[in-house]
Each structure stands twice: as C-alpha cells, then as structure tokens.
Chains A and B, each alone.
Chain A
C-alpha cells in the first residue's frame, strides 16, 4: 500500500482538529496522552491530543492526516510526526496576531528537523481584526519566501479539499518524484 502522510500544525485554536474532522473519511482518532514525567508532578494530568484522519482513494492508496498536539511545548510526538511527514500545512488564525510568534516558532522547529514542502493555511479571515493573508505571511515567514499561502475555512469540506490540492501541487513541484 502506498501512503502519504501530511501533518496539520499550527498554534492552538487555528483549526487543526476541525480541518481533519472535516475531510477525514473515518471518525477522527484522538489520542490522549497522560504524562508521568516532571510535568505531571506539577500538574496531575497533562493531556495532549493528536488527531488522526485518513481517506483511501484507490484500492491501495491512502492519505493520512495528522494534527499536531494542541499544546505549545514541542515534545517527542511533534518529532515523531514531522520526521516522517511528506509535507505539512501550518494553520494560522488571521485574527489572532498574538499567536503569530508561536507559529513562527513552529516553522523554526520544523526547519531545524526536516526540509519538506509546507504551506500556510490562513483561517478566520472573515473575523473582526483579521490580518490580510499577505500580512500574515510577512509575520510568519517574511519576504522572499516561496511558501504558498491559501485561505482555509476548516469547517468547509470544499475549502479544506482545495487546500490539500494546493499542498499536493506544491509538493509535486518541490519534490519532483518520478
């Protein structure tokens, strides 16, 4: 079976879980992890969620979608996901500039580990106080960067599907597999 793995990442509240829920053909698997390390000593239960969805489009072809843990610290789960991903989408809520710094940190974290195609999906563009897509891109990756940026409504299947097509086309151009 040939499998492609995409990671959906972004700051808390950007719409990662909704994105996967909207497009997955199976009920989304959410895993809860209870830490028993030093973090757990401070906080009795530290729970993070990893969302997993998929769809199969030929007998032997499957697309897996993974949503990164919904917490700000980077842990082994992030590492596990990103090191094996083929590409990723960074979801950013346009109306929450306070989350842009976290989004930048995610990009830095990813860039330190992998060199795979990525795309910025800008959500909540119709909300009050939303920045334009161009300005969100400036805030996250600066200028002179060829990272594609697309508006995404994580609640709408067509919008999510369109963003996946855009990422795959970007992957096709970037990776040129034969």
Chain B
C-alpha cells in the first residue's frame, strides 16, 4: 500500500509535491492512455525527493541508446556497459570520470531525459500513478544530475499549464491567497510568480493581485494555480453566504438557529468567550475513557 491513484483526482503536481516533501526514494510509474486504447508508461526515479532519472522502459538501456544515437559512445562500448550488473555510481558520472563525456553532455542528456519528458506528462488530464519505494535506482539510466520534484512540477505547469489545466480548476477570481504556513522551499520562482507569492498575504484576492500587478486576470489565475499546486500558496476557502434557514430536528421545525435542535445540541447557549477546560477535567476525562478500553 502506498502512494497511488488517478491523475484526474490527484494531480501530477500534487504527487511530485508529496515525493519532494517526503524526501522519497523509489520509482514513480505513471500510465497514461494514448489514442486507440494504447497505454504509455513513464518511469521516474527519485532519491531523497530529487528526480534522478526518467525512462519509458524498464530495460535500463535508454541512456545508452541516446549516447549511441548522439555519437558519444560506440555500440560495442555501450554493450559492455549494458552488461555491467552493478554500477556503484550513475553511468553519466562514470563516463565523465573516464573522460568519455563532458559536463555539458551530461546536462544536455539530463535536460532531455527529465524536465522535457516530465513536462510532457502534464498534458495528460488522466492516468494512473503508483510509487514504489522498494525499487532500486537504475544507475545505467542516471546522468548524475538531479532536480527537486517541486521544481520539475513548476516547470511542467509553466510549459503546459494553459492547455493542461481546466478552467474550473483555476482559483476563483474572488479567492483569497495566502502563503502556505508550511516549511519554505528554495524553489526558483520566475519574476511574476515571485510577485504573486509576495502579495499572497491572506487578505488580497486573485482579482486584487491582478489589479496590483497590472496583469490580465487569466495570467494571474494560472500563476496562482501553479503556486497552489506546488504548495507554496493556499487558496483560502470562502464561507458561503449565510442562509435564511429553518431547522428540523426529530420532526420539530424551528424558525431559526435558536430552535430545538440547537438547544439540545448545546449550541444555542454557547459562550464564545470560553476557551479552555481545566487540567483536572481533562485528567478525569482521560481516565474515564481509558477505563472503557
């Protein structure tokens, strides 16, 4: 049992947020549906919440194939590496040490392997995901580079947010934004994201922030959505307008909130000034409950 579900109800950004914050190590498998009922799996490996590799197959040969395709490794040498069963370090790091690859090669490989591929996943509105914390890291697919999962989420949403995010998922224009009170992360925000984050003070609404920044509403909604998705900002729920209500309890109807139901439930006599209960009360209650166990 573990982290698993559907992207339609638990977004990829939320998944990445959990893996990042939980400093998870293991394999995230995402299966998305393509046309003609074809299913495409994506495999993304994490070490301590950082993405270290991604592939579309589990044969651990994708990185070697790319190296051959780019002419950075010949076929025979690649075959030798593919037969090594236990590398003690990422293949990219090893090839750099051996002088086969330079740092720029590795950067380019990682860019194509992780941010670009992961970014593409944000196009899909549905799919299955499952995280396996027992899966070993695939040294043959690793360049030696890594990136925080949250940063990958932010990049993906920047690239594909407009097409991938439903309008109904965007924060409402009257929603108040508040900086998340959880631990801060050193994610690289772009200029506009940083400005929205600065104004998310628990008082200003999305519309007010858009006006302050002289930006179109939809742009600020998208930026806000990204910040909410990666957990930097919270959308404060708005209380629904109070209703003129009638209440029934056990068939008895009351005209207002002072009705029989509230009386019985101890609601009508509540004193809002009361804040604590005594220590002796708590100890007696705890003892009483324990005696029932």
Q: Assuming the A-B contacts A29-B261, A142-B21, A177-B282, are A34 and B292 also in contact, with contact meaning beta carbons closer than 8 angstroms in the complex?
A: no
Output the nearest chain A residue to B278 by Cβ-Cβ distance.
A177
Stretch at the interface among B3-11, B140-148, B152-160: B3-11
Q: Which stretch, B40-48, B80-88, B205-213, B237-245, touches the partner chain A? A: B237-245
**Among B248, B262, B266, B272, which residue has its beta carbon within 8 angstroms of that of A32?**
B248
- Point out residues on A near B: beta carbons under 8 Å: 2-5, 29-40, 50, 52, 54, 57-58, 61, 63-64, 66, 73-76, 78-80, 83-84, 86, 97-98, 100-101, 104-105, 108-109, 111-112, 129-132, 134-135, 138-139, 141-145, 157-158, 161-162, 164-165, 168-169, 171-172, 175-178
Excluding A52-B266, A76-B242, A79-B239, 8 further A-B contacts by CB distance (< 8 Å) are A31-B248, A32-B249, A34-B246, A98-B9, A108-B234, A131-B2, A143-B182, A162-B293
**Bound form: Cα–Cα A64–B268 in Å:** 14
Which residues, 212 to 268 on B, are CB-close (under 8 Å) to A?
A: 231, 234-250, 257, 261-262, 264-267
The one of B14, B18, B288 in contact with A57, judged by C-beta atoms closer than 8 angstroms, is B288
Let me know if A141 and B285 touch, CB within 8 A. no
Min CB–CB distance B259 → chain A (angstroms): 8
Does B249 lie within 8 Å of A100, measured CB to CB? Answer: no
Contacts of A30 in B (CB 8 A): 249
Report how far A161 CA is from B264 CA in the complex, Å: 23
Chain A's nearest CB lies how many Å from the CB of B279? 5
Chain B positions 1-49 with a Cβ under 8 Å from a chain A Cβ: 1-6, 9-10, 14, 18, 21-22
Checking B1, B2, B9, B289 against A164 with a beta-carbon cut-off of 8 angstroms, the contacting residue is B289
Residues in chain B near residue A112, CB distance under 8 A: 178, 202, 236-237
Given A31-B249, A131-B2, are A75 and B242 also a contact pair (CB < 8 Å)? Answer: yes
Chain A residues with CB below 8 A from B247, complex form: 31-34
Distance between A98 CB and nearest chain B CB, rounded to angstroms: 3
Name the B residues within 8 Å of A139 (CB-CB): 14, 18
Is the beta-carbon distance between A83 and B272 smaller than 8 angstroms? yes
How close is B30's CB to chain A, nearest CB, in angstroms?
A: 14
Please tell me if the beta carbons of B286 and A169 are within 8 angstroms of each other in the complex: yes
In the assembled complex, which residues on chain B have CB atoms less than 8 Å from the CB atom of A171? Answer: 282
Question: Are A63's CB and B245's CB within 8 A?
Answer: no
For residue B272, give the distance in angstroms from its CB to the closest CB of chain A: 6
5 residue pairs, one from A and one from B, having the closest CB atoms: A98-B9, A37-B243, A52-B265, A57-B288, A31-B261
| Residues A61 and B293 in contact in the complex (CB < 8 Å), given A34-B248, A84-B272, A172-B279 | no
Task: Please report the C-alpha to C-alpha distance between residue A90 and residue B257 in the assembled complex, in whole angstroms.
Answer: 25
Q: Which residue of A lies closest to B281 (CB)?
A: A2
Number of A-B contacts (CB under 8 A): 185
- List of A residues within 8 angstroms of B231 by Cβ: 142
What is the distance, in angstroms, from A170's C-beta to the closest C-beta of chain B?
11
| B181 interfacial contact with A, CB 8 Å | yes
| Interchain CB contact under 8 A, B202 and A178 | no
List the B residue with the shortest CB-CB distance to A83: B272
A115 to chain B, nearest CB (A): 10
Chain A's closest residue to B231 (CB) is: A142
Q: Per a CB cutoff under 8 Å, which of B22, B242, B276 touches A138?
A: B22
Q: Tell me which residues across on chain A come within 8 A of B270, comparing CB atoms.
A: 5, 80, 84
Cβ distance A63 to chain B, nearest Cβ, rounded Å: 6
Beyond A36-B243, A145-B182, A165-B286, whether A135 also contacts B265 by CB under 8 A is no
| Bound CA span A79–B270, Å | 13
Among candidates B1, B240, B265, B275, residue contacting A75 with C-beta atoms closer than 8 Å: B240
A29 to chain B, nearest CB (A): 6
Residues of B within 8 A of A57 (CB): 284-285, 288
For B282, the chain A residues whose CB sits under 8 A away are: 4, 168, 171-172, 177
Given A31-B261, A57-B285, verify A36-B245 contact (CB < 8 Å). Answer: yes
Chain B residues near A135 (CB-CB < 8 A):
2-3, 18, 22
Q: How far is the CA of A83 from the CA of B273 in the complex (A)?
A: 10
